Amino acid sequence: MNNRISQIKQYGQKIWLDNISREFLASGNLQNMMLKDGIAGVTSNPAIFYKAISTDSRYQDQLTELKTQDLTPLQRYEAMAIVDIKNACKIMAELYHSSNKEDGYVSLEVSPDLCHDADGTIKSALELWEAVNEPNLMIKVPATKAGVIAFEQLVTLGLNVNITLLFNIKQTEEIWNAYLQGLENRVNNGLPVTGIKTVASFFLSRIDNAVDEKLPNELQGKAAISIAKHAYQKYQEIFHGDKFKKYKQLGAIPQYLLWASTGTKNKNYSDVLYIEELIGKETINTVPDATLDCFRDHGIAKDALSHNQVDPANTIKQIKDAGVDLEEVGEKLQQDGLQQFVDAFDKLLELVK
């Protein structure tokens, strides 16, 4: 295992694959990527499952059978997704155990229709958790106000959670505070804080896409990476400082930042920009196949997060001085991201009606 992707591991970052399908799992490709590339996890979303179910004939027999039953489209979709997620969890089980529960996670998202319903999100998360019934499952929840409430409760209940659609520092700090509160709830309830894995998914390329046209040339393509590096500095302060010390002593693990939306949308930028510039300890990057192929071909692994040549706070100040309110942009991007998830989910449910 010594290709460009696998070299990232030496700098303390985990690479997850942002893709899943029944054909992919049956082909042995996931095992192969785990072996050759060091792939350490898998994420899914409604758009990924739409593509899989609409193009992979392996789903058709199960879908035909499900259509003979009195089920809603949501129940049909979840029945198919659960098969794949459970299978992926089993494929990654050995890695999960050999890494002492650090690696080998597979994410499954709750319905985006529940994004403003904390109780509904908790109920759905528990149902999916029970249905998959694998310890390396990770429930994916969007970071809305309701999602933050649900996330704290899911941590209190001991579930692994991927909290997603983070676009600014404020949203990210709210998630970290909810994680700490969930751990505190467990301590107060006499429950262990060991063995719970959560990640905070911070989206990148969509930020640059949203702000570049408002910025001078020298600042274009720098917003997402600067905010991400600033978030990483905040992460270090929280999880390697006094705030987390108590929980660390009890065996809790930090909530890593996970870099998402890492496929480059602007063709003027490097196609591995959002990988190369954000490699560092205690982080994860979830990467689509095409971007992984690019990095495998010409990416350079380096410890970019610990060797900032430019203080990200300075770049963020310049962006704000140029008239861009990054907090406001982050809120809008989260709303847009939710709508994209809802639209993809609606298409998915139409497919299995």
Secondary element (H or E) of residue 282? none
Torsion angles phi and psi, residue 61, rounded to 5: -65, -45
163 Rama class: left (phi>0) / alpha (psi -120 to 50) / beta: beta
Residue 340 located in a structural domain: yes
Catalytic residue among 14, 140, 197, 229: 140
Interval 281-293: pLDDT, tens: 999 999 999 999 9
- pLDDT for the residue numbered 306: 83
Residue 1 located in a structural domain: no
Give residue 88's Cα distance to chain centre.
16
Please state the rounded mean pLDDT for residues 318-342: 97
Residue 331 located in a structural domain: yes
Please state the rounded mean pLDDT for residues 269-297: 97
Share of the chain above pLDDT 70, in %: 99
Indicate if the pLDDT at residue 279 is higher than 90.
yes
CATH code at 287? 3.20.20.70
- pLDDT for the residue numbered 1: 54
* Domain count of the fold of the chain: 1
Interval 68-111: pLDDT, tens: 999 999 999 999 999 999 999 999 999 999 999 999 999 999 99
Active site residue 90: no
Residue 318 located in a structural domain: yes
Interval 19-72: pLDDT, tens: 999 999 999 999 999 999 999 999 999 999 999 999 999 999 999 999 999 999
Range of the domain at 111: 6-351
- Three-state DSSP class for residue 328: helix
Residue 52 located in a structural domain: yes
Nearest one of 159, 198, 195, 152 to 177, comparing CA atoms: 152
Q: How many whole angstroms separate alpha carbon 81 and alpha carbon 50?
A: 10
Residue 343 located in a structural domain: yes
The model's pTM is 0.96
